[in-house]
Structure 1
């Protein structure tokens, strides 16, 4: 149920912003274009914002899949969405890419249907509680079974492995999955 017009607008905008663009800036840019089939959501309504975020990320991951056939890819993070050429097109087409739990989550529209305002609020509450814990970073390193210094690729690889293990759609524990996501958000800036 992809919207081809939205995919076309995303393609154009991401070509123009080769150094990357934040999700918020992308939403503003789409909202400013009269032909774009996307309206910036009410940023104070977490439920509406989540649904718009999910729809946008669904299309970003669809675009990422399309770009793979032409030797390009997207790095998709809410704070910076960046389009770039892959280093070696021939090897990326023959290698099996590691599973990306975020891509799997956003490409499955059933995840949007399964989410409720209450389940979303529970996730937000857990996220904010995790940020307030005073000694959380030490616990985060222990959760990842890593000791600093850790490179960004090594941290990301461990994060993906933990996400696969704990993802609720794969029989994992939802609370543990949320803890892994929150820990990764805190550890990512600390990676070397």
Structure 2
């Protein structure tokens, strides 16, 4: 793709704008059969049975579908980036990075025999049971034990 702006920050902004605009247009085309969930760190296509209805008012969707925003000034881009990084840092980075897509989370909960509204206490109890069963020092499999450790961290990050 050719350069969209001489200013590297504006060029990056415009590239991001085009991607997000395309995603929101695709989201509208896929409805009502499927739903495209769009978030900063995760994009997922889900069936209508498992997905929630599109929010009637999504400020990000409105922003990226408005072509007047494509020609944003450098000052506005700086303000948007500052706001994004402030909101991003206000979340636990561990949770943001390790949280699972809904379908994977449900599969993991089934495998771990946990309810969808599990507590951290329930998770810790189940972790101890599985760790004792699969620990290499107790004739368990080291690979399986490492897999369980990773799953535990993912579930812990998703804990309500």
TM-score range, shorter chain: 0.3 to 0.5
TM-score normalised by structure 2 residue count: 0.45
Structure number with greater Rg is 2
TM-score normalised by structure 1 residue count: 0.39
